[in-house]
């Protein structure tokens, strides 16, 4: 998970908690992350989907379900982190 993805996931979680489960709009996420365009938000959201952090319901606005908690990686052993990335087939992408 990239820092931007974590920031977005945390924003979605907080927004949903404060608003009874309603997800933020792409424009609200764009403003929160300081992005210039909605396509940047789309890339972040698609990355969260690919990573298994969220699920979106098709054909529904603001329909994001968080399915995994963002980890606190500050105390994770580097070797353990690389081993997990390798297990998930992510090591090559993370190293690039």
Q: Specify if 82 maps to a domain.
A: no
Domain that residue 58 falls in: 3-69
pLDDT (tens, 9 = 90+) of the chain, 96 residues, equals 888 999 999 999 999 999 998 999 999 999 999 999 999 999 999 999 998 899 988 777 778 888 876 666 666 677 877 787 777 776 555 555
Q: Specify if 84 maps to a domain.
A: no
Q: Specify if 89 maps to a domain.
A: no
This model's pTM is above 0.95 = no
Q: Specify if 74 maps to a domain.
A: no
- Domain containing residue 20: CATH number: 1.10.10.10
Q: What does each C-alpha distance from 22 to 5, 62, 82, 86, 90 come to in angstroms?
A: 19, 7, 35, 35, 31
Q: Specify if 86 maps to a domain.
A: no
Q: Specify if 43 maps to a domain.
A: yes
Q: Specify if 96 maps to a domain.
A: no
Two structure tokens written together for 92: 């090559």
How many domains does the chain contain in total?
1
């Amino acid at each position: 998970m990239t820092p931007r993805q974590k920031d977005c996931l945390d924003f979605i979680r907080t927004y949903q908690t404060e608003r009874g489960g309603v997800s933020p709009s792409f424009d609200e996420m764009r403003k929160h992350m300081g992005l210039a365009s909605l396509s940047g938000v789309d890339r972040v959201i698609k990355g969260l989907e690919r990573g298994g952090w969220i699920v979106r319901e098709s054909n529904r606005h603001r329909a994001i379900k968080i399915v995994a908690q963002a980890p606190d990686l500050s105390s994770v052993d580097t070797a353990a982190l690389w081993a997990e990335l390798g297990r998930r087939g992510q090591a090559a992408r993370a190293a690039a």
